[in-house]
Amino acid sequence: MSTNGANGHIYAEDELYRKLAPDRKEIRILCLEQDNRLDRFVQNGTVAETPPTPSELIFRWEYISLSDRIVPHYDAISYSWGGDEAKAIGRTIVVNGRSLTIPKNAHEALSAVCLRHGHYRVWIDAVCIDQEDKHERNNQVSYMGDVFSKATRVCIWFGEDNSVAEPALGSVRTLLETMDPTLPDRLKTPHSGSNKSPPLSTDPRKLSTYSGWPSVYSLYANRWFTRAWVIQEVALAKQALCYQGNYPSAVDFDEVALVATYLYERRHLLPKNPKKSAQTGFENAATILTLRRHRSQKLASLLRVVYTFNCEDPHDMVYSILGLRHRSAQKPDSIHRVIPIYEEPVVEVYAKATKAAISETRSLGILKHAHSLRPFHRKRGEPDDFPSWALRMDLRGHYHINPISYRSFRFNANEFLSLVLWPNDSSRVLRVQGVLVDTIIDVSDCMRWKQAGDSSSSGWNDTLTAAAVLHETYSWAREALPAWTAKDFARKFSMTCAAGQDATGRSLHDGKEHASRLFHGFWSTANVPTSSDAPPQDDGYASETGSVHSMKSQASRASSTTRSIDVKDFDTDLAADNPDATYALSAMMKGGHHRTVYITERGALGLGTDNVQVGDVVVILFGGTVPFVLRPQAHYWHFVGDCYVEEIMHGEYIRTLNKQNRLEQAKQWFKIR
């Protein structure tokens, strides 16, 4: 039997969604029927402002293979699914002569892209994937990167325009032309043989007179910029065009993202105080632009990027970025491959992804972020069966703690010893080889202050708060380790709180100039007695016999008068523009934020995460460039976080063990859960 479609076409009365061939990477394309195309609504050469009614969205299927050498033309639609309310409100389209109810936001996107802007052959996830068929969904998601990379264009639908004055998309174009009138023409030749974005030759005075800031901010506050799937949808696109509301023309995404990059870099100086949602839009758009220039990434990098985005299904915090991985990593025979399986528990997905990132890079570097991706406080009674070492991608927001070595250089605590993983282990267990260094016997209170850019940050007062917290922590540590001279201990304390790097990520271990500036800056903001008979102590790891208890017993009479730094009038010092003091406080605020200072059994001073406890141990795990803190449990170890101990950051401890022919004896397996 057969039925007549809206235009007289004959359709077989089979199921609307016939099975796809995953081995050919087959997908469905929606083809707008001839009678519904844009030329029906052209009057005197002008497109009618009133869009067609919902009943006029009539399509037919076309099936194409992404594995073919030449893939037929189609455009892919990128949009925001919206919340539960938008999904609950159904709208009807006709496909192959059958009515199909789809979410409101998908219907709006199809109406705008197909009817208003003339894209007649499109792919859209809510319709072209049978959402009720889990097996099909898993297969389609596994090659979603191909869907968007092989599309002729990606059409971004921002939704209807909520700005009250100038159209939001138009305001970005106006702002861009105000900033640099030549840029739109330069962007017509993508990349131009370079991976760098065209520079903006901007005169700040031009921006101060611009009146469309509310409309600009409303665009970047759009929900689309927070959706994790848009990362690869746009990063892989040959060309990405943006549409919104009734704005008559498309704006290239590269223009939108370039403006966002400029605004994000100057977000603290912008007029009209953009809301946090707009600043997030700036950052995420800039991130996508970077990935458009560098499309092939390792999973570890992508997992860190996606954390500032959101997904309705927590599985998609991993699955949404797989198309941006190196192709070799996602081949069927790759041991690093992550296979989308929505039926798997989220904990399994995140553990597998974290372990795949570790095995792909042959590095434990991603563990520096494991504690950062955890909540400040877990709700009482909330189950926590997530492995302590796995990234919690289901948590929203930015890192509340900076990883050790988070910028432009690496430490080398493991002395280049390669990662050794226990083979064929459980996905929820990370068993690695390393050495136990020391045991923590005392821990400070957590050092907290507001960072620049925090919504409630007041800038100057927060610097004073940080200075007071650092003073209090210094006093506590000086009390515990009195044998050091005041200057020696102030140098070590400032280096430890800064985690060996300044606020820009420059290493303070390379040469003496910057380390000296850090110390003198910290010293200049404090009033410290300089008389002390206590000599500088040897590093706590220079011998096996050194301990904090023996060091305390060697303290001189004068040490009791030099153990505390009294904060001077910071207002006077810093207001006088003391660059070294500013340099030191910035570095220590960046490195020490939401961390604790701890003291070990051998008398070392360290910087750990906010959850460090007495009895935890400092370890060097092979494949990890920084030391880590573990907590002993009955039959396994609990991962606490990364840490900084000045004396062991560049392989000193491993070299000492080697020199003493004790490295093989010291090696052990750590079963971390």
DSSP structure string for 545-573: S--HHHHHHT--GGGGGSS-PEE--HHHH
Q: Which residues contact 209 (CB under 8 A, 6 or more apart)?
A: none
pLDDT score of 414: 86
Q: Which two tokens stand for residue 310?
A: 């959101």
For residue 66, give the 3-state DSSP assignment.
coil
Please tell me the pTM assigned to this model: 0.83
Instruction: Give Cα 564 to chain centroid, integer Å.
Output: 39
State the number of CA atoms in the 13 A half-sphere of 511 facing the CB: 5
Distances (CA, A) of 133 to 23, 77, 129, 342: 17, 21, 8, 11
Q: Which residues contact 10 (CB under 8 A, 6 or more apart)?
A: 2, 3, 4
Report the length, in residues, of the chain: 673
Are 391 and 373 in contact by the 8 Å Cβ rule? The answer is: yes
Beta bridge partners of 433: 669
Domains of the chain, residue spans: 19-293, 435-672
If the chain, 673 residues long, is cut into consecutive pieces of 10 residues, what is the mean pLDDT of each piece?
A: 39 73 96 69 47 69 97 97 70 93 94 94 97 95 96 96 77 82 56 46 62 90 96 98 93 94 85 88 96 92 91 94 93 92 95 95 91 56 74 71 70 88 88 98 92 50 82 94 92 96 87 88 66 42 43 34 38 59 91 95 96 97 96 96 96 96 97 96
For residue 98, give the 3-state DSSP assignment.
strand
Q: Which two tokens stand for residue 368?
A: 């520096």
